[in-house]
Structure 1
């Protein structure tokens, strides 16, 4: 970000080299800070690029886009949801009933854009009388849009599906 650097900027207002603005004073003859296109262009692009980097298209009819982006970020706090943290770290979670036989494919609420760091499926407490007997495993490489996991508990008829919470972390 560019700090104001016009001839009448308030020199070192926020510390050495950290200039600011002044209203000036007609009594003391201190001129007010002159404004220039360079500073306004830098400020405009810092704000506009922050909004666009948050995945939001600029809308000239809205005057709260930056505040909205900074206050809540990108999120969906539902049963199957996600939250994007500063720096683009994406946390996702959900609940699914596993297949009784074979792998279960789960689609992420929001596709990752670059990488999936980890996916952790776990049985929901109380959903299965013997979760310690459950077998959990993820299957091969994850994609940016989904993952596969195996959650199964042996039974006399072959297997029982398990209610499963999952958590994923990536960017």
Structure 2
């Protein structure tokens, strides 16, 4: 199923040069826009002294990073271009593909921003994360399951932070 979905998306690559150029940009460069937007939102939050919310965002990002590292070490799934004939539009080192680091970072940032800082900007970042994930499949470096795993890790990390009881030294005094 994972490979079949991969083929449905990746088989469209290489047909329209302009579309391939957009997908290559989204796959490789959109992450920098997500990071820049995230940095601006964090600065805005810090200027408004929303320290607890910023700490929650970074806690969720740390959990997502650790979850992705753990899954990556447990997984032996190689990248699509290592085991199949694909339309690979961007160069990438061989290795484990599950989960996508780009998608994990983008989804974790988007969901953490939406949950803790600003719902509207979180939705904008979530659209960017989804576009990035689709593009990573399009260019032949990830399977759909790699992107889905990244989303699940991000949701879990944000949920843990959102629903975990805060230590007493972090709680707001009433």
TM-score range, shorter chain: under 0.3
Indicate the structure with greater helix content. 2
TM-score (norm 2): 0.24
TM-score (norm 1): 0.24
* Bigger relative CO (Cα 8 Å, ≥ 6 apart): 2
Indicate the structure with greater strand content. 1
Larger Rg: 1
